[in-house]
Structure 1
Amino acid sequence: MPFLGKKVGLIVPLISLIAHNVLFKAPYASFSCSLLHIGCPSHIPIHGFVNDEYKEVYNIFVNNFKQGLDIGASISAYVDGKQVFSLQGGWQDRDKQIEYTNKTLQMVYSCTKSLGSIIVAQLVDQGLLSYNERISTYWPEFAQGNKENVTIEDLMRHKSGLGGLDEPLSYYNASDLDRLADVLAKQRHNFDGKPVHAYHVITQGWIQNEIIRRVDPQHRTLNDFAREFMDKWGSEWYLKPYATEGLDISRIAPFYPIPKYQQYAHLIATVLNPFKDSSLIFALFNKDSLVYRSLVNPHISLDTNIQKLNPKHRSIEIPSYSGHTNADSIAKLAAMMANRGKAIEQGEPDLFTKDTTFEEATRVMDDYETDAIFPNDVINNLRGGLVIFPNDYLNIPDYDKESELIGGIGASGTFFVFNEKYKIGFAYVSNCLHSQRNPDERSLAILRAILKKNKESRGSNC
């Protein structure tokens, strides 16, 4: 019996260790690779270039695939207006063995909101909009349900009180801009007129669209403006790709969620952890909660999975998250924003015509605020909607206050950031949906390598 007890004492911890490694392994690594380091990926297609001084970035990028953290991804960065690397790796479509290249298009979820912030700033630059002005000035029907005092700034900073819809949004209403505008105008303010920070996961872009349609002489939408970015700056964007004539939709990468058993394991671990706030999870099952009304009710095509290449869903413009683009296109905009909106290539126009536009769009308004939808997130939206990422949030040590990055993130880990002082613009996109934190180590390790090199270069020039 003592011998049996010893065996049980050894077997139980061993089984527990194996179970933990299986449940919480890198999501796209095989069991043999995770447990025995056998059969790990060796042939990983890599495209693009990297300057010699950023070889560390190349190694980090490749290791993401070797470790099972990515299937297909791309990174791009500019420093001082010059592109220092552009890399694409892995598989656009793993099953069909289609390689991820600079032609691949990726839906970037909420990183699309960064594009919207830039376009709204351009309209402010032209005098068509003002951050101070009430939305009802441009859209009189909006002044219903305690929304009469909501400003453009409130909308950009997720404080317009229209993140949640009381009733589920039908495909019928979402597919027609006039019907959609009527639904949004009639929706009551979520906080009885008070400017509370509550992330507008889906609705922000639709509200922007209706305002823009009313002030633009050609009645364009965000997608129309975004399509012009290719000709002006070589930045390619499609907000409704399946309705875009001439677009080769085979360029669009499908998404790869983590295995179901890992999804459930992470969910259970969160719920059972007394040190983690699981209120968001429980609120998703309460149809009366603000979380449900913000994450579920505004969601069209509830019977389909948006992670899949669904033509019905991807034919509608959803400017809060439907942007399809690539890392090079995002990084180009980030580099220009790092240059205060000025062009970085000869012959190209500036993003803004006035020097004050960049200052207004990036003006710090308040301290960091706890979000009413995502209570674990403390967010500081600048006046024009972009987000400040403090160094401690990104785990970036030894950098001064002015090195804080500005930009946006998306659910797949997509990352758009820039820094004016050090003239850095960086982008990361992926077809993998697994992170519990956005951005995550796939991109943060690369970003830290850029900042480290930048710091070394500045030190050598002193």
Structure 2
Amino acid sequence: MPLPCRFLRIGCLDMKVQGYVTPEFIGAKKAFVKNFENGNEVGASVAAYYNGKLVVDLQGGYADREAKRKYDEDTLQIVFSSTKVMSSIVIAYLVDRGLLNYDEKISTYWPEFAQGNKENVTLLDLVNHRAGVNYIDKSEFEDIDKLAKILADQPHLFDGVPVRAYHAVTRGWYLNEIVRRVDPKHRTIGQIISEEILKQYDLEFHLSLPPNLVPRVANIYTAPFAEKFMLMRNLLLDLWNKKISISFILNFRDDLLIKTFNQTISPDFPTIFTLEEVTKFEEFAFECPSALGFTNAKSIAKLGAVITNNGRSLNDKNKSKPLLSKNTIDLMSTKLPIAWDHVIKRNFTPSVGGFVYLKFPGIEDVEFLGWGGFGGSIFVWNQELGISFGYAMNGIWRPRMNGFIGDERGYSVLKEIVNVVKKLKNDQSDSSSTK
């Protein structure tokens, strides 16, 4: 929010929060409301399921601040790289049906891929950002077949050696081409989501944006100058207090990082490095399954809840075929060795399915599986605790470089949820031991 509001409480907008929360999780609502009271949100939604039941589903603020359009249950939000979680689930969906195998070479499905030292790259490598194609030299958005040829022609950036280097945008394009070749109907990832997942599980997650959905999409707002100044101040303080090193700063001028994140994601969308403010979304028909998903927190959390429910629908009276079998969920959740990411400059613990095990500030004793998106969106779940969590927002804000996934706004709500679940489980354990 503008500085007069943040510091003097003058000229503030009416940032009401609405939605649903069970009594036990009222602390999560208080944390969500506090984000607005502190001026750290424009519009946002947050949702959580516990043991397959919706316990938090809140929205607040504005989808369009200038037009005073409320951010509500009908709002759709671009979640950037949280989209990778959805595309990874679709890959697991095809693995579950025998159409794909994580250990198979990509050239088995796509013979033209086997060039430029990419002959031995596997699907496992690609979903885990080890395919050596974290950026491409040119792109073609007019025709998906022309893009496929460009993708196939791109040489391996590490001479065929499987090195983890975050594929910020290209991962989705390569996965999309593989999926088109193995799907009996030659559909894209977005088409499979639309035709086989959304209606069955009552979700909204769109990889292309037809005109009728455009009015529902929230505008994007970047932090005002004062916030950017505070970011630089905090960065210098961290440097002075030796919380970070000068090499950390220099890493952000790394050529590999710049080329990776400066890859445009659609013909009409600016690069992340040049993104200042997108006030209107035109029709997005070109899919980017890495970074161009439009959804809401409830759909994110519900999809995570389906996974924690062993792949079954949360209200499945007809006992229909699960989204994923338990065997596939176990497989895609299997931990891989810790790997240093040469783009993000951090160690990560990846999983076979292309997800990452994450720990968040204040709840470091709990590991979540999933990923997040540029600006702060979060798409994670924890099987043991039975928690699935989604957070989506239109304010691109990061007050301190304390991690690549999410920020304090999402962490604060998730922390309240985790603490309540721990207490509930302890109470259940105590009750059982006294019987």
TM over 0.5: yes
Summarize the Cα distance change of 1:410–1:350 in structure 2 as closer, same or farther, 3 Å threshold: farther
Q: Are 2:253 and 1:290 aligned?
A: no
Q: Structure 1: how far apart are the matches of 2:312 and 2:88?
A: 16
Equivalent residue runs for 1:176-215 within 5 Å: 176-215=143-182
What is the DSSP-based 3-state SS (H/G/I as helix, E as strand, rest coil) of the residue aligned with 1:174? Answer: coil
Deviations 1:191-228 (A, max 9, x none): 11111110000000000000000000111001101213
Q: Corresponding residue for 1:23?
A: none
Match of 1:255 among 215, 220, 223: 220
Q: Are 2:61 and 1:90 aligned?
A: yes
Deviations 1:288-339 (A, max 9, x none): x222321224555488466525656833211101100001111110111112
Q: Corresponding residue for 1:459?
A: 426
Q: Structure 1: how far apart are the matches of 2:83 and 2:324?
A: 23
Q: Corresponding residue for 1:113?
A: 84
Deviation at 1:265, TM superposition (A): 5.8
Q: Structure 2: which amino acid aligns with 1:389?
A: L
Q: Structure 2: which amino acid aligns with 1:218?
A: K
Q: Structure 1: which amino acid aligns with 2:3?
A: S
Q: Structure 2: which amino acid aligns with 1:234?
A: D
Match of 1:428 among 361, 376, 391: 391
Task: Give the superposed CA RMSD.
Answer: 2.2
User: Rg bigger for which structure?
Assistant: 1
Q: Are 2:291 and 1:336 aligned?
A: no
TM-score for the superposition, normalised by structure 2: 0.89
What is the DSSP-based 3-state SS (H/G/I as helix, E as strand, rest coil) of the residue aligned with 2:284? Answer: helix
TM-score for the superposition, normalised by structure 1: 0.84
Equivalent residue runs for 1:340-379 within 5 Å: 340-347=310-317, 349=320, 351-352=322-323, 354-367=325-338, 369-375=339-345, 377-379=346-348
What is the DSSP-based 3-state SS (H/G/I as helix, E as strand, rest coil) of the residue aligned with 1:207? Answer: helix
Match of 2:3 among 26, 30, 36: 30
What is the DSSP-based 3-state SS (H/G/I as helix, E as strand, rest coil) of the residue aligned with 1:425? Answer: strand
Q: Structure 2: how far apart are the matches of 1:178 and 1:268?
A: 47
What is the DSSP-based 3-state SS (H/G/I as helix, E as strand, rest coil) of the residue aligned with 1:248? Answer: helix
Deviation at 1:269, TM superposition (A): 6.2
Q: Does the 8 Å CA contact 2:217/2:281 hold for their aligned counterparts?
A: no
Equivalent residue runs for 1:8-157 within 5 Å: 28-31=1-4, 33-34=6-7, 37-39=8-10, 41=12, 43-157=14-128
Q: Structure 2: which amino acid aligns with 1:54?
A: F
What is the DSSP-based 3-state SS (H/G/I as helix, E as strand, rest coil) of the residue aligned with 2:172? Answer: helix
Q: Does the 8 Å CA contact 2:17/2:60 hold for their aligned counterparts?
A: yes
What is the DSSP-based 3-state SS (H/G/I as helix, E as strand, rest coil) of the residue aligned with 2:362? Answer: coil
Q: Corresponding residue for 2:362?
A: 395
Q: Corresponding residue for 1:419?
A: 382
Identity of aligned pairs, percent?
34
Q: Structure 2: how far apart are the matches of 1:68 and 1:423?
A: 32
Which segments of 5 or more consecutive residues in structure 2 lack a partner in the other structure?
Answer: 430-435
Summarize the Cα distance change of 1:297–1:74 in structure 2 as closer, same or farther, 3 Å threshold: closer
Q: Does the 8 Å CA contact 2:214/2:281 hold for their aligned counterparts?
A: no
Q: Does the 8 Å CA contact 2:95/2:101 hold for their aligned counterparts?
A: yes
Q: Does the 8 Å CA contact 1:338/1:419 hold for their aligned counterparts?
A: yes
Q: Structure 2: which amino acid aligns with 1:135?
A: I
Q: Does the 8 Å CA contact 1:92/1:99 hold for their aligned counterparts?
A: yes
Summarize the Cα distance change of 1:457–1:95 in structure 2 as closer, same or farther, 3 Å threshold: same
Deviation at 1:378, TM superposition (A): 1.8
Q: Structure 1: how far apart are the matches of 2:108 and 2:184?
A: 16
Q: Corresponding residue for 1:234?
A: 202
Q: Does the 8 Å CA contact 2:307/2:324 hold for their aligned counterparts?
A: no
